[in-house]
Amino acid sequence: MSEDVVVITDVNFEEEVLKSNIPVLVDFWAAWCGPCKQLAPVIDELAKEYKDKIKVGKLDTEEHNSTPAKFGIAAIPTIILFNKGQAVNKMVGAKSKKDLKAAIDAQLK
């Protein structure tokens, strides 16, 4: 995982995501999930490309399961884009970099 990606936990979720003054993309994942592993390099690239514009984080659903439960995460990978403390876009499954960039860019307008 790149140093530009924030490790998000049940403990720091509110501070890192809900109270963030910039949009936050959260990748809900688990170590055993094949599509999550395929998506990991894309998440790292987005974190570098959008540095200082958005925050990019990953939340391990195996280690931290109360936050995923609050947001109805039933399948992983699930990516939720938050803006001003609200979930504004929820994408289930491995998405293309193009799709993720389009979702991010919509929040930066």
Instruction: List residues with catalytic annotation.
Output: 33, 36
Backbone angles phi and psi of 81, in degrees to 5: -100, 125
- Collapse the DSSP code of 107 into the 3-class scheme (helix H, G, I; strand E, B; otherwise coil) and give the result: helix
CA distance 106 to 10: 27
Alpha-carbon span 66 to 70, nearest angstrom: 6
How far apart CA 76 and CA 91 sit, in angstroms, is 10
Pairing between strand 24-29 and 5-8? unpaired
State in Å, rounded, how far the first CA of the chain is from the last one: 28
